[in-house]
């Protein structure tokens, strides 16, 4: 009987040790809150891992390009705002803005009026613009980071 109790006690201890070891190696601690001073000067609490509020950056001045057109001269004027939830993206956008603007001008100047006449076509152009911007950032700095592109002004004349 004594041997049986010792065997059960050893098995319980091994089981507890296995559960404890599993928890130790698998468990991720909760992110610690960090006090941060906001833009308004008031302290706020941020928790690592939470999605950051979106930030916006305007590529200015506006882009103005000639559209390919057989019926006369046509122009496209577009203002672009970028959105990101990551910290270092807009510093990299500023650093590589000349190349970004160049690539976007090349993209827009290949268009003709019929290629951007509908909302769906403009949506596709928005996606191509996002790919072009993140492509420049990735090739220059190793990572993209722009989450969305918004056309805040879009005029075809």
Report the alpha-carbon angle 81-85-86, nearest 5: 110
Higher pLDDT, 68 or 28: 68
Average pLDDT across the chain, whole number: 84
pLDDT at 91: 93
Residue 152: per-residue pLDDT: 95
Q: What is the chain's length?
A: 157
Q: For 55-156, give the CATH class.
A: alpha beta
Percent of the chain residues past pLDDT 90, beyond the cut: 50
Q: Hey, where are the domains in the chain?
A: 2-47, 55-156
In sequence order, what DSSP letters do the residues of 88-143 get, joined into one string? SHHHHHHHTHHHHHHHHHHHHHT-BGGGGSSHHHHHHHHHHHHHHHHHHHHHHHS-
Dist. CA 80–CA 71, nearest whole Å: 27
Note whether 82 and 93 are within 8 A (CB): yes
pLDDT digit string (tens) for 83-142? Answer: 999 888 999 999 999 999 999 999 999 998 888 989 999 999 999 999 999 999 999 999
In the numeric block, which tokens belong to residue 150?
């918004």
Across the range 75-85, mean pLDDT stands at 94
């Amino acid at each position: 009987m004594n041997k049986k109790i010792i065997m059960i006690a050893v098995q319980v201890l091994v089981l507890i040790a296995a559960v404890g070891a599993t928890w130790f190696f698998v468990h991720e601690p909760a992110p610690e809150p960090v006090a941060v001073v906001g833009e308004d000067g008031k302290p706020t609490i941020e928790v690592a891992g939470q999605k950051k509020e979106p930030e916006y950056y305007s590529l200015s001045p506006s882009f103005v390009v000639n559209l390919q057109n057989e019926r006369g001269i046509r122009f496209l004027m577009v203002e672009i705002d970028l959105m990101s939830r990551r910290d270092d993206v807009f510093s990299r956008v500023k650093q590589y803005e000349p190349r970004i603007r160049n690539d976007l001008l090349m993209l827009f100047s290949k268009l003709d009026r019929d290629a951007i006449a509908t909302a769906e076509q403009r949506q596709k152009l928005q996606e191509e613009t996002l790919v072009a911007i993140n492509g420049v950032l990735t090739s220059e700095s190793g990572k993209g980071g722009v989450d969305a592109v918004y056309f805040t002004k879009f005029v075809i004349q």
